[in-house]
Structure 1
C-alpha cells in the first residue's frame, strides 16, 4: 500500500514565495514514522508550499506518484488547498482520501461535505490513521475506529474520540528523512532568526492546560511530555545524523513542568551539544525565573517569544489569559539581561475592545525589555471558545483562502483605518520611543549577515506601513 501524505498550503504562499512561514510538517513526520512502525513502509511526503505547486501542479504530482491512500494535513488557512488536493486525489483514482490536522479536527463538517474526502482523523493521528488503513484494507467500514469522522448512507458519523497518547516516549522518532533540513532553510519559520539556517522543529511536549479562548485544542488540555532523555536523544540525532545547527521548539508550553525543562537544559550543557535553541511560540514566559533563564542561556537558547496578547484587565479576564503581567515583565527583563532575543506577541481587535484598551496594551508593550514584537489582529476560528461567542458575520469562513490574510481579522468594533493607525502608533512608540532598543536588537541578534538584516528591515517597514496580515 503506497501512502502519500500531503501538507496543504496557504494559497497566497505559493508558488514559491520564500518568506511565508513554510516549516517542516512535524505532525506528518510523526505520522509517517507511526505508519512505518505499523507495517506500512511505503510513505511519501508532498509539501505543496515547499514545492511551489499550484492546483494543477498538485494534480500532476499525485497522478505521477500513483498512491493507494492520500492523507492531507491542513490548518484553516489551508482549507481551500485541502479541498483542491482531495479533488486531485479523487481525479487520479485514489481509493481512500483522509484529512487530518487542525482544520479537519475543528471542522469535520466542512471536510465531509466534500465528496472527495472519505474520512477525517481528529486530533492525534499516530494511532488512528493506521487503524483506519487496516479497516480499509479489510473492506470494513470505519465504525470501529476511534477518533474518526466519516459518512454512512450520506450522513456524517462522528466516532467516539480517541484518548490522547499519554506516553509520548512510546512514539517512534519523527521520520526526518522525509523533510531534509537543507530544503527549509530559505523559508522563515516561527523564529525568523532561523532564516537561512539549517534547523529542524521538534515537539518536546503536547497539550496545554490553559484555556485562552482564541487558541486551538488539537492536543487537548492535559500537558504530556517527552522525558528529558528522549528529548536529548532527538537533539543529538538531529545534530549528528542530519547536520542540524539549530532547533525550533514547537511546544505550546515547554516549561510547564519546570523540573523537566531544567533537566533538558542541564543535559544540553553537560553534553556540549552546541545547538542554538529557539522558542518561536513554545514558552510560558511568566513561569521563568532567574535560575531557569541562566540555564537557558548556558544551554544555547537564542530566541524566546513571550505572549502578552492584551494588557487590559477586563479583556484578559474575558479571553481567559491569566498570565501575571508583572511576572511576565520581570521574566522578559531576565531574558534580555542574558542577551536572549525576546519577541513579544500582542493581539488587538478583540470584540468589544476599546481604543483606550489598545493604548494600554501599547504602553505595556513599550515598557517591556523585549527586542521586537508581532501584533496580530483577532480572528475567530472554529474549534475555539472565541468562535462560539461570535456572531456568524465575524467568524472566519473556512471556505475562503484569505483566512490568514484578512486585514484586521474581522472581530474588531473599529474600522480598519483606526486599527492601522493603532498598529503604526504601537510600532513607532515601541521602536522609536526607546532608542536603546534598536541598539539592543542588533547587539543581541543570534546571527548576522546581510540576508537576515535585509529581511528584518523589510519586515519592520512592512509592519509599520502596510495593513498586511498582522
Structure 2
C-alpha cells in the first residue's frame, strides 16, 4: 500500500514565504513511525510550503507516485490548501483521502462536506490511522474504529472518541529519516533564533491541564509525558546520528512536572550532550524557579517564551488564564540575569476588550526586561470555549483564515485601525524608546550572524508597519 502524507500550506499573507512558519511536521514523523511499526513501509512525505508547491506541482507528484492512500494534515489557516490537495488527489484517481490534525479535529464538517475527503482522524492518530488503513485494506467499513469520522452512503458518521495515549513511551521514535532536516533551516521556526540553522523539534509531553478559553485541545486537558530516559534517548540519537545540536521543545507545558523537567536538564548536563535548547512555546513561566533556571542555563537553554497574554485582571479571569504576573516577572528577571533570551507572548482583541485594557497589557509588557515579544490578535476557532460565545460573524471562516498577527477579522469589536494603532504604540515604546532593551537583545543573542541580525530588524519593522485589515 502506497501512502502519501501531505502537509498543507497556509494562505499567503504579505510576509515572505520564508516567514510562513514552515517547520518539520513532527506529527507526521510520529505517524510515519507508527505506520512502519504496523507494517506500512511505502511512505512519502510532501510538505507543500517547503517545496513552494501549488496545484500543478502537486498534480505532477500525484501522477508520479500514484498513492493508494493520501493523508493530509492541516491547521485552520491551511484549510484552503487542504481542500486543494484533496481535489488533486481525487482528480482522475480514487485513493482513500484522510484528513487529520488540528483543523480536521475542530472542523469535521468542513472536511466531510468536501466530497474529496473520505474520512477524518480526530486528535491523536498513531493508533487510529493504522487501524483505519487495516480496515481499508480488508475492504471493510470504518465502523467501530474509535476517533474516526467518515462519510458513507451520503451520511456522516462520528465514531466514539479514542482515548488519548496514556504511556507516550510506548510510541516508536519519530521517523526522522522522513524529513529533510537540512532544508528547514531556510525558514523561520517558532524559535526565530534558529533561522539559518539545522535543528529539529521534539515533543517531550502532550496535553495541558489549563483551561484557557481561547486555546485548542487536540492533545486533551491531561498532562502526559515521556519519561526523562526516553527524552534523553531521543536527544542523543538526534545529536549523534543526525548531527542536530539545536533542539526546539514544542510541548504545551514542559515544566508542569518540575521533577521531570529537572531530570531532563540534569541528563543533558551529565550526558555531555552539548545542545542549544529552545522553547518556542511550551513553558509556564511563573512555575520556573531559580534552581530550575540555573539548570536550564547549564543545560544550554538559549531561548524561552513567556505567555503573558493579558495584564487585565478582568480578562485573565474571563479567559481562565490564571497566571500570577508577579511570579512571571520574577522568573523573567532570573532568566535575563542568566542571559537567556526571553520572548513574550501577548494577546489583544478579546471579544469585549477595551483599548484601556489593551494599554494595561502594553504597560506591563514595557515594564518587563524581556528581549522581544509577539502580539497575537485573538481569533475564534471551533473547539475553543471562547468560540461558542461569539456571534457567527466574529468566528473564524476556514475559507479565508491565514494569520493571527494581522488586526481585523478576529474576535474584537474594536475597529481594525484602533488595533493597529495600539500595536504600533506597543512596538514603538517597547523597542525604539528603550535603548537598554536593544543592548540586551544584541548582548544575549544565541548566535551572531548577519542573517539573524537582518531578520530581527525586519521583524521589528514589520511589527510596526504591518497594515490593518477588516
Specify the TM-score bucket, using the shorter chain as the normaliser. Answer: over 0.9
Are the counterparts in 2 of residues 269 and 298 from structure 1 also a CA contact under 8 Å?
yes
How is 1:78-97 mapped onto 2 (pairs within 5 angstroms)?
78-97=78-97
Change (3 A) 1:38 1:468: farther
Give the TM-score taking structure 1 as reference length. 0.98
Instruction: Deviation per CA, 1:76-116: give whole Å up to 9, x if none.
Output: 00000000101111114132100000000001111000011
Residue 286 (structure 2) pairs with residue 286 (structure 1)? yes
Are the counterparts in 2 of residues 405 and 468 from structure 1 also a CA contact under 8 Å?
no
Are the counterparts in 2 of residues 15 and 54 from structure 1 also a CA contact under 8 Å?
no
Deviation of the 1:434 alpha carbon: 2.8
Change (3 A) 1:200 1:92: farther
Deviation of the 1:144 alpha carbon: 1.5
Deviation of the 1:301 alpha carbon: 0.2
Change (3 A) 1:38 1:243: same
Are the counterparts in 2 of residues 76 and 403 from structure 1 also a CA contact under 8 Å?
no
How is 1:12-161 mapped onto 2 (pairs within 5 angstroms)?
12=12, 17-161=17-161
Q: Secondary structure at the match of 1:441?
A: helix
Are the counterparts in 2 of residues 63 and 92 from structure 1 also a CA contact under 8 Å?
no
Q: Could you tell me which runs of 5 or more consecutive residues in structure 1 were left unpaired when the two chains were aligned.
A: none
2:463 equivalent in structure 1: 463
2:238 equivalent in structure 1: 238
How is 1:355-366 mapped onto 2 (pairs within 5 angstroms)?
355-366=355-366
Instruction: Deviation per CA, 1:185-216: give whole Å up to 9, x if none.
Output: 00000000000011000000000000111111
Deviation of the 1:408 alpha carbon: 3.2
CA distance in 2: counterparts of 1:241 and 1:260, whole angstroms: 25
CA distance in 2: counterparts of 1:400 and 1:430, whole angstroms: 31
Change (3 A) 1:130 1:468: farther
1:419 equivalent in structure 2: 419
2:391 equivalent in structure 1: 391
Are the counterparts in 2 of residues 15 and 52 from structure 1 also a CA contact under 8 Å?
no
Are the counterparts in 1 of residues 375 and 405 from structure 2 also a CA contact under 8 Å?
no
Instruction: Deviation per CA, 1:407-463: give whole Å up to 9, x if none.
Output: 334211211111111111111121234321110000000001111101110110110
2:298 equivalent in structure 1: 298
1:257 equivalent in structure 2: 257
CA distance in 2: counterparts of 1:14 and 1:51, whole angstroms: 19
Q: Secondary structure at the match of 1:333?
A: helix
Instruction: Deviation per CA, 1:201-243: give whole Å up to 9, x if none.
Output: 0000000000111111000000000000000000111111111
Are the counterparts in 2 of residues 13 and 49 from structure 1 also a CA contact under 8 Å?
no
Which is worse superposed, 179-188 or 393-402?
Answer: 393-402
CA distance in 2: counterparts of 1:424 and 1:215, whole angstroms: 25
1:271 equivalent in structure 2: 271
CA distance in 1: counterparts of 2:246 and 2:361, whole angstroms: 32
Instruction: Deviation per CA, 1:11-61: give whole Å up to 9, x if none.
Output: 317998222210000000000000000010111100000000012211211
Change (3 A) 1:15 1:258: closer
Which is worse superposed, 11-20 or 335-344?
Answer: 11-20
Change (3 A) 1:282 1:378: same
Are the counterparts in 2 of residues 100 and 121 from structure 1 also a CA contact under 8 Å?
yes
Are the counterparts in 2 of residues 311 and 361 from structure 1 also a CA contact under 8 Å?
yes
Q: Secondary structure at the match of 1:11?
A: coil
Deviation of the 1:467 alpha carbon: 2.7
Deviation of the 1:403 alpha carbon: 4.9
Instruction: Deviation per CA, 1:284-332: give whole Å up to 9, x if none.
Output: 0000000000000000000000000000000001111001111011111
Change (3 A) 1:15 1:30: farther
CA distance in 1: counterparts of 2:269 and 2:405, whole angstroms: 41
Q: Secondary structure at the match of 1:410?
A: coil
Change (3 A) 1:42 1:13: farther
Change (3 A) 1:13 1:182: farther
1:318 equivalent in structure 2: 318
CA distance in 1: counterparts of 2:310 and 2:41, whole angstroms: 47
> How many residues were matched structurally?
469
Are the counterparts in 2 of residues 15 and 49 from structure 1 also a CA contact under 8 Å?
no
Aligned alpha-carbon RMSD (Å)? 1.5
1:331 equivalent in structure 2: 331
Q: Secondary structure at the match of 1:64?
A: helix
Deviation of the 1:154 alpha carbon: 1.1
CA distance in 2: counterparts of 1:255 and 1:363, whole angstroms: 27
CA distance in 1: counterparts of 2:281 and 2:57, whole angstroms: 32
Give the TM-score taking structure 2 as reference length. 0.98
Q: Secondary structure at the match of 1:163?
A: coil
Are the counterparts in 2 of residues 397 and 403 from structure 1 also a CA contact under 8 Å?
no
Q: Could you tell me which runs of 5 or more consecutive residues in structure 2 were left unpaired when the two chains were aligned.
A: none
Q: Secondary structure at the match of 2:141?
A: coil
1:187 equivalent in structure 2: 187
CA distance in 1: counterparts of 2:332 and 2:66, whole angstroms: 51
